Amino acid sequence: MGNLYYDIEVFKFDSFVVFMDEDGNKKLFHDKNNFHGLADYIKGHTLVSYNGYHYDDHILDLMLKGSHQSVIKEMNDAIIRGVKQKTKYHINSLDTAQQIDVAMPSLKKIEANMGKMILESSVPFDIDRPLTGEEYRESVKYCTYDVEMTKAIYKMRINSYFKPKESLVEMVGQGQRWQTTTLSANALLEGMKLTKWSQIRLNGDDFSDLSMLDLVPSEVRDMWLNSKDDKGKVTIHEFDNDIEFGFGGLHSVHKTEKVFENVVLLDVQSMYPNIILLINALGKATDKYRNILAERIAVKKTDVVKSNALKLVLNSVYGLLKNQYSDLHNPKAALSVCIYGQIALYELGKRLSKVGTIVQLNTDGVAFIAHGDYKGIWEQWEEDFNLKLEEDSFSKFWQRDVNNYIGVTKDGKIKCKGGDTSRYAYDSFFRNNSARILDIALVDKVVYGKSIIDTLTENLDKPELYMYILQAGSTYLGTYDEQGKKYQKINRIFPTRKKGGVRLYKKRTDDGLVSFPDSPEKMYVWNDDVSKLEKFDRIVDLNHYVQVIEKRLEKWL
């Protein structure tokens, strides 16, 4: 019967739930009539919330049971205190917050990142009396707005997450509330129990053959074999690169140069999945994994949803090998995959250095400038390590460090990676979308030589590019200005020279004030929708952005 999007608000003497269907029709249920008709209304629907698996679904369970308001409030407070709950009522639901990002943003943070209204209701949740009629209407209004945003987030994630997840659920036969990582483990194991390794393995089923370790310096080998907690790193200096070995991906960067032309990038195709197969890291489940990899290749162009679901399985396994809570947990197998990959990539870089300049090594790829024929090296390496390479190229390449680079392809497309540039082409609604104009202006300056001030002035009709989203963490008392005025948990600000500008701080438990990182001296606070901002060019102080960008450029050029 389709989806119903919903959100719940709970006060001491009042609680209610707002629903919205696919056509935008809204329905309100409240405690005053004991949520009459709620069960019939949701029957046959999939309920969609934001953070519902941790909060809303549990409260809805009580509402469906007709629980007293005091019981609902008690559970509300317990959840907020961090007490885990178990939903006993079978609710067919989806949570739009599930696996959205490691930062686990609140709904309000996403709304802020999208430039939407983030004004909070003036009605405090700890109010110690029943709500007045006006307070009730205001609370319902803000709750309804959050339902609308929940629906918008679901639509944004439907193809990237929810459809592939649905396909995984069909493969496993259960687990709609499970995360895709849990579904992936179940899809592979099918009830099997795997044996954990007691040591690393680099050659099929042969634990005794560790000859690959001879390809790296002895100090690297010793680190891998003797570490008690899979932590640490060893840096060596070779082919004009600082090369860092550790317990993740191999990384290196050229020691002196930052700007390169005609760069070739050789990437290992599906490196971790293929190494997992090569060393039989999944034991009895390896054949199943191999079949999933083959099936994904077969349906990649004909069934995008199925392909993405299978990709989730393939890409989840390496992390699950390291996850102590997963049925796939096998830390020595995970370390073996990591070591095999680092040795293979190091050896590729070493061989290519004889016919070119190594720009960087980065987990599953080598960037270099060819001074001679490298096809023979490419083919021999593939034969030696049973892995396949694919080629890309850049006419121009800039790197601040191994994790921050800008590349321009032969056809003029720009590829960016890193904190300074990653939002050049796309918004980052689910993580951090503050001052995206900084990324845009920096890349335009580096690639095209465009003046910073030109980029800043040309985009003034898009104020969302200039906004900063400020949020004090849970260890702080909240956000305050220098006069002691308290602000919302999340605030949107712009640097300004405008009279009446303030500066916001995080307040510590000892009442000390702490500046937000890179925040301007004077701020214009705007928590309404940015589309409602008028005369933005008279509000914003562009000098702030110029200073930040020029400081960042020092590390690039």
Residue 260's nearest CA partner among 450, 449, 452, 446 is 446
Taking the C-alpha atoms of residue 247 and residue 192, their distance in angstroms, rounded to an integer, is: 28
Bridge partners of 525? 493
Task: Return the pLDDT at 420.
Answer: 96
Q: What is the pLDDT of residues 155-181, one digit of tens each?
A: 999 999 999 999 999 989 888 889 999
Model pLDDT, residue 557: 87
What's the pLDDT band for 90 if we cut at 50, 70, 90? Answer: confident
Residues 23 and 142 placed together within one structural domain of the fold: yes
Ramachandran quadrant class, 44 (left: phi over 0; alpha: psi -120 to 50; beta: rest): left
Question: Per residue in 118-149, pLDDT tens?
Answer: 999 999 999 999 999 999 999 999 999 999 99
Structure tokens at 362: 């980065």
User: Phi and psi of 312, rounded to 5°?
Assistant: -60, -45
Q: Indicate the angle between helix axes 163-172 and 180-189, nearest 10 degrees.
A: 30
418, part of any domain: no
Same-domain pairing of 516 and 398: no
**Is the same domain home to 321 and 284?**
yes
Identify the residue whose tokens are 């096998």: 330
Average pLDDT over residues 103-128: 96
pLDDT at 343 over 70: yes
Sequence-distant (6+) residues with CB within 8 A of 61 are 87, 88, 89, 91
Same-domain status, 323 and 339: yes
Tens of pLDDT, residues 219-230: 999 999 999 899
- Cβ neighbors of 70 (< 8 A, separation 6 or more) are none
How many domains are contained in the chain? Answer: 3
pLDDT tens profile 521-546: 999 999 999 999 999 999 999 999 99
Question: Are 263 and 323 part of one and the same domain?
Answer: yes
Q: Is the pLDDT of residue 398 over 70?
A: yes
Residue 216 is assigned to a structural domain of this protein: yes
- Residue 296 inside a domain? The answer is yes
Give pairs for 325-330: CB < 8 Å, separation 24+: 326/181, 326/182, 326/185, 327/185, 327/186, 327/189, 327/193, 327/194, 328/185, 328/188, 328/189, 328/194, 328/282, 328/285, 329/196, 330/194, 330/196, 330/197, 330/281
User: Does 423 map to a domain?
Assistant: no
Residue 169 and residue 199 share a domain = no
| Residue reference for tokens 């006060």 | 11
Q: How far apart are CA 19 and CA 10, in angstroms?
A: 15
Rg (CA), the chain: 27
Question: Is residue 162 classed as helix, strand or coil in its secondary structure?
Answer: helix
Identify whether residues 219 and 357 lie together within a single domain. yes
Q: Which pLDDT belongs to residue 472?
A: 94
199 & 144 share domain: no
Domain boundary among 402, 421, 453: 402
**What gap in Å lies between CA 462 and CA 82, rounded to an integer?**
39
Residue 431 lies in a domain: no
Report the alpha-carbon distance of residue 505 to residue 16 in Å, rounded. 34
| Whether residue 138 sits in one domain with residue 243 | no
Q: 227 and 98: one domain?
A: no
Q: What is the pLDDT of residue 89?
A: 66
89 and 210 co-located in one domain: no
CATH number of the domain that 35 lies in? 3.30.420
Q: Show which of 124, 157, 175 is a domain's final residue.
A: 175
**Residue 57 vs residues 8, 92, 426: alpha-carbon distances, Å:** 9, 10, 33
pLDDT digits (tens, 9 = 90+) for 295-321: 999 999 999 999 999 999 999 999 999
Contact 418, 459 (CB under 8 A): no
Residue 420 lies in a domain: no
- Per the CB < 8 A criterion, the answer to whether 14 and 62 are in contact is no
DSSP category for residue 411: T
- Distance from C-alpha of 116 to C-alpha of 526, rounded to nearest angstrom: 10
- Tokens 């999939």 correspond to 46
Q: What is the pLDDT of residue 161?
A: 96
Structural domain of 465: 437-553
Over 80: is that where the pLDDT of 189 sits?
yes
Q: Where does residue 513 rank: exposed (0-12), middle (13-18), buried (19+ CB within 10 A)?
A: middle
Structure tokens at 159: 């193809």
E strand or H helix at 454, and its extent? helix 452-458
Beta strand 404-409 with 3-10 is unpaired
Q: What is the overall mean pLDDT for the chain?
A: 96
Check pLDDT > 80 for residue 255. Answer: yes
Asked if the structure places residue 67 within a domain, the reply is yes
Contact indicator for 19, 1 with CB cutoff of 8 Å: no
Of the candidates 216, 184, 188, the one whose C-alpha atom is nearest the C-alpha of residue 202 is 216
Query: Do 87 and 215 belong together in one domain?
Result: no
Amino acid at 72: I
pLDDT at 329: 97
Paired sense of beta strands 414-417 and 404-409, if any = antiparallel
Of 95, 18, 54, 107, nearest to 430 by C-alpha is 107
Q: Which of 119, 144, 175 is the last residue of a domain?
A: 175
Phi first, then psi, for residue 495 (nearest 5°) are -60, 140
Angle at 59 between CA 58 and CA 62, to 5 degrees: 95
Residue 266, domain member (yes or no) = yes
Q: What is the pLDDT of residue 191?
A: 85
Angle made by CA atoms 91, 95, 97, in degrees to the nearest 5: 160
